[in-house]
């Protein structure tokens, strides 16, 4: 939530920062702004709306100097407007700050500053922080890095900040706790950003700042200190991210590009891990953990949103294949519930961003109670991937559309590999089933490709449901989480109210909603619950509901009883979610586009939820 970018070097800062903000707009997009130092003056430009609205404000500005900070906001304190937009300036006009996170004790700090005569223009916690830093700088008569460090000792909450000081026009001071911050190290130039995407065009050398560290960049280069003022050795890493991976590449939206990337992203996820010819499955990141997982009494998946749905698929997989007791928890509930965790329990976080605040906190809590903590993350170097004992990267590539698509299928692919490897180690899978599963897994990318070829057909179906007010998604077994995911996709990008249910639960309430205006999407593939789902379809049709069914290739029976059927290729039952979710992603996408929604940046949402 919120994207931050900063630059100091010999390039013109403002255009570089604005370009970076566009790359981070997925993190928040209700207002944006920049602060620069030019002609010894600290200037702030900010605007409610998207970064393109800020560009209009900047259109007539000439070179604004070689140092600056920028922010794209997802509002927490104070409504989205020009005043609450970042950067925020201190009362004297000397300092400007950008901030991603929440200062939880801002109210008491604000009262203390009000008592001392400070005035506030915005409703934000961030304006309190910059004035608190200024107050320390004045009263202790210290340099900015010390003032930031001392201020942060008294701050409760989460932050990634960068501060600019008019009196030091070659210096940037940054710090983080709980919110991500990457430093790009170029030739006599430095970049700060919430992720590496604004940086990779200029340098691939980065340092991931750790929690409770402060980074100072000035004529002496980069210095990193902890809050105790002890210098830390920066670990420079090389990011393997290419520019084309973060561009739309001819697609209308990132979401569509990401849906169509799934044959490749699933193949990338399987590459070097699944080898059906030699009947090998290996997960490098878990090499020394698979044997322990096989002996686990309990696995707890913690996640939010789409990643939680992937966790539900993981529950079915581990129970079915490896016969291990699994629980799937919303991270936000788990972390505050004082759950019972026994020594040796595995708590596995699933997160695309690796930065979701609740998931991170749930993991930290589980660790403190003695659990072995593992991660399934997409973003390399993310906070979750760094605090976990071991884990598996999903290798889906950057996911920029706010609605998660390729990250979900990559998460399910990883969880499937983990479950198969664990089951094989445990001996709960016959050799034949094991081999069969590996062969079927390797064939998934091609089968996804076949479903994507039906996109025009799905678009035509979408046209007939564009103005529906409600939708129900139903599935059983492994396809129940897919029903939940279908409903989430539709509501988040089209703003149509949608519910996902286990198909059999329909009789216990939702059936009252069925009439001729209610579209019901069934996942009705030929698996062990096929007959039961068919009965549920009959129940809906008897009440005049309009049914769209996801069916197995060649299934004429269901086709004859529903309004629309979308065929998916056959595969092993436990791999079906990787196929059945694809038509649901496309259905949501086309409906949202037809309704004129901003599918990549739906209202009120942000890609990376770094506040609880
Ligand atoms: O980065 P994470 O996977 O931890 O994010 C979790 C959720 O915020 C995320 O899946 C969200 O629900 C998506 N917008 C769903 O499309």
Strand-by-strand arrangement of the 470-475 sheet? 497-502, 470-475, 519-524, 546-552, 564-568
Residue-wise pLDDT tens digits, 326-374: 999 999 999 988 899 988 899 999 999 999 999 999 999 999 999 999 9
Q: Is 352 in the pocket of ligand 1 (CB under 6 A)?
A: yes
**What's the longest Cα–Cα distance across the chain?**
80
Q: Which CATH superfamily is domain 248-451 in?
A: Glucose-6-phosphate isomerase like protein; domain 1 (3.40.50.10490)
Give the DSSP letter of residue 582: H
Give the DSSP letter of residue 30: S
In this prediction, residue 26 carries a pLDDT of 86
* pLDDT band at 529; cut points 50, 70, 90: very high
CA distance 482 to 488: 10
Of the CATH numbers 3.40.50.720, 1.10.3720.10, 3.60.20.10, 3.90.1280.10, which one belongs to the domain with range 3-245?
A: 3.60.20.10
* pLDDT band at 434; cut points 50, 70, 90: very high
CA distance 31 to 417: 41
- For the chain, counts of helices (H) and of strands (E): 19, 27
Q: Is 356 in the pocket of ligand 1 (CB under 6 A)?
A: yes
Q: Is 351 in the pocket of ligand 1 (CB under 6 A)?
A: yes
Distances from the Cα of 27 to the Cαs of 108, 114, 609, in angstroms? 28, 32, 8
CA distance 451 to 583: 7
CA distance 499 to 487: 5
CA distance 247 to 242: 10
Beta-carbon count within 10 A of 574 CB: 22
In this prediction, residue 160 carries a pLDDT of 96
Distance 408 CA to ligand 1 centre (A): 9
State which ligand 1 atom lies nearest to the alpha carbon of 305: 12
Residue-wise pLDDT tens digits, 467-517: 999 999 999 999 999 999 999 999 999 999 999 999 999 889 888 999 999
Helix, strand or coil for residue 8?
strand
Q: Is 585 in the pocket of ligand 1 (CB under 6 A)?
A: no
Helix, strand or coil for residue 177?
strand
pTM of the model: 0.86
Beta-ladder partners of 6: 69, 192
Helix, strand or coil for residue 516?
coil
Distance 601 CA to ligand 1 centre (A): 13
Which is it for the CA torsion 471, 474, 480, 483, positive or negative? negative
State which ligand 1 atom lies nearest to the alpha carbon of 402: 14
In this prediction, residue 70 carries a pLDDT of 98
Same fold flag, 248-451 and 454-602: yes
* pLDDT band at 384; cut points 50, 70, 90: very high
In this prediction, residue 604 carries a pLDDT of 87
Distances from the Cα of 491 to the Cαs of 30, 90, 209, 480, 498, in angstroms? 20, 41, 36, 17, 6
- Neighbouring residues of 109: CB distance < 8 A, sequence distance ≥ 6: 103, 128, 129, 132, 154, 155
In this prediction, residue 120 carries a pLDDT of 97
CATH number of 454-602: 3.40.50.10490
Residue given tokens 């207002």 in the structure block: 31
Quick check: is 2 catalytic? yes
Beta-carbon count within 10 A of 229 CB: 11
Q: Which of 26, 254, 307 for mutating ligand 1's site (highest number of atoms within 8 Å of CB)? A: 307
Determine which helix (DSSP H) or strand (DSSP E) holds 474, and give its type and residue range.
strand 470-475
Q: How many residues does the chain have?
A: 612
In this prediction, residue 563 carries a pLDDT of 97
**C-alpha Rg value of the chain to the nearest Å:** 25
Q: Secondary structure of 361-417 in the HEC alphabet?
A: HHHHHHHHCCCEEEEEECCCCCHHHHHCCEEEECCCCCCCCCCCCHHHHHHHHHHHH
Percent of the chain whose predicted confidence (pLDDT) is above 90 = 90
Tell me the two tokens of residue 479: 């396809």
Buried b (16+ CB within 10 A) or exposed e, 438-460: bebbeebbebbbebbebbeebbe
* Boundaries of every domain in the chain: 3-245, 248-451, 454-602
Give the DSSP letter of residue 210: P
CA distance 342 to 365: 13
Determine which helix (DSSP H) or strand (DSSP E) holds 567, and give its type and residue range.
strand 564-568
Distance 398 CA to ligand 1 centre (A): 13
Distance 2 CA to ligand 1 centre (A): 15
CA distance 451 to 571: 13
Quick check: is 142 catalytic? no
* pLDDT band at 381; cut points 50, 70, 90: confident
Tell me the two tokens of residue 6: 């900063």
CA distance 304 to 577: 18
* CA angle centred on 542, ends 537 and 545, rounded to 5°: 70
Give the DSSP letter of residue 142: -
In this prediction, residue 38 carries a pLDDT of 93
Distances from the Cα of 239 to the Cαs of 31, 397, 465, in angstroms? 29, 12, 43
């Amino acid at each position: 939530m919120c994207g931050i970018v900063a630059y100091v070097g010999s390039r013109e800062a403002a255009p570089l920062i604005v370009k970076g903000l566009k790359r981070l707009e997925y993190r928040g997009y209700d207002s944006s702004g920049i602060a620069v130092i030019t002609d010894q003056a600290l200037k702030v430009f900010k605007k409610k709306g998207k970064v393109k609205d800020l560009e209009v404000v900047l259109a007539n500005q000439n070179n604004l100097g070689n140092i600056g900070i920028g922010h794209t906001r997802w509002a927490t304190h104070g409504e989205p407007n020009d005043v609450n937009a970042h950067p925020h300036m201190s009362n004297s006009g000397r300092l400007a700050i950008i901030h991603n996170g929440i200062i939880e004790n801002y109210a008491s700090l604000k009262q203390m500053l009000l008592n001392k005569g400070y005035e506030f223009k915005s409703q934000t916690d961030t304006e309190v922080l910059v004035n608190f830093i200024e107050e320390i700088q004045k009263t202790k008569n210290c340099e900015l890095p010390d003032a930031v460090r001392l201020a942060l000792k008294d701050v409760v909450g989460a932050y990634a900040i960068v501060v600019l000081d008019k009196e030091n026009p070659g210096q940037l001071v940054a710090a983080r706790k709980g919110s991500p911050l990457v430093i790009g190290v170029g030739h006599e130039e430095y970049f700060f950003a919430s992720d590496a995407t604004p940086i990779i065009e200029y340098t691939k050398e980065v340092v991931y700042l750790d929690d409770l560290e402060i980074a100072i960049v000035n004529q002496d280069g980069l210095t990193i200190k902890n809050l105790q003022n002890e210098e830390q050795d920066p670990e420079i890493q090389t990011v393997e991210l290419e520019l084309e991976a973060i561009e739309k590449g001819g697609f209308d939206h990132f979401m569509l590009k990401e849906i169509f990337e799934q044959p490749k992203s699933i193949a990338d996820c399987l590459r070097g891990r699944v080898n059906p010819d030699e009947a090998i499955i290996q997960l490098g990141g878990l090499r020394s953990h698979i044997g322990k997982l096989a002996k686990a009494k309990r696995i707890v998946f913690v996640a939010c949103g789409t990643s939680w749905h992937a966790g539900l698929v993981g529950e079915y997989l581990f129970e079915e294949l490896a016969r291990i007791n699994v629980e799937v928890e919303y991270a936000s509930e788990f972390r505050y519930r004082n759950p019972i965790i026994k020594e040796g329990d595995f708590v596995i976080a699933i997160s695309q961003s690796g930065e979701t605040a609740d998931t991170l906190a749930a993991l930290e809590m589980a660790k403190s109670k003695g659990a072995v903590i593992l991660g399934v993350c997409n973003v390399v170097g993310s906070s979750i991937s760094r605090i976990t004992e071991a884990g598996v990267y999903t290798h889906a590539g950057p996911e920029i559309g706010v609605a998660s698509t390729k990250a979900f299928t990559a998460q399910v692919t990883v969880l499937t590999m983990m479950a198969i490897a664990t089951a094989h180690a445990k001996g709960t899978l016959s050799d034949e089933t094991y081999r069969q599963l590996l062969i079927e897994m390797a064939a998934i990318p091609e089968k996804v490709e076949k479903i994507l070829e039906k996109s025009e057909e799905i678009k035509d179906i979408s046209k007939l449901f564009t103005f529906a007010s409600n939708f129900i998604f139903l599935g059983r077994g492994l396809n129940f989480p897919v029903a939940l995911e279908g409903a989430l996709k539709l509501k988040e990008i089209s703003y149509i109210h949608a519910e996902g249910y286990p198909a059999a639960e329909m009789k216990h309430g939702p059936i009252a909603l069925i009439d001729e205006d209610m579209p019901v999407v069934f996942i009705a593939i030929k698996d062990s619950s096929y007959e039961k789902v068919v009965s549920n379809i009959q129940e809906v049709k008897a009440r005049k509901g309009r049914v769209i069914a996801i069916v197995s290739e060649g299934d004429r029976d269901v086709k004859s009883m529903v309004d629309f059927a979308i065929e998916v290729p056959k595969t092993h039952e436990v791999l079906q979610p990787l196929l059945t979710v694809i038509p649901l992603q496309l259905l949501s996408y086309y409906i949202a586009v037809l309704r004129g929604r901003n599918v990549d940046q739906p209202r009120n949402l942000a890609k990376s939820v770094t506040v609880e």
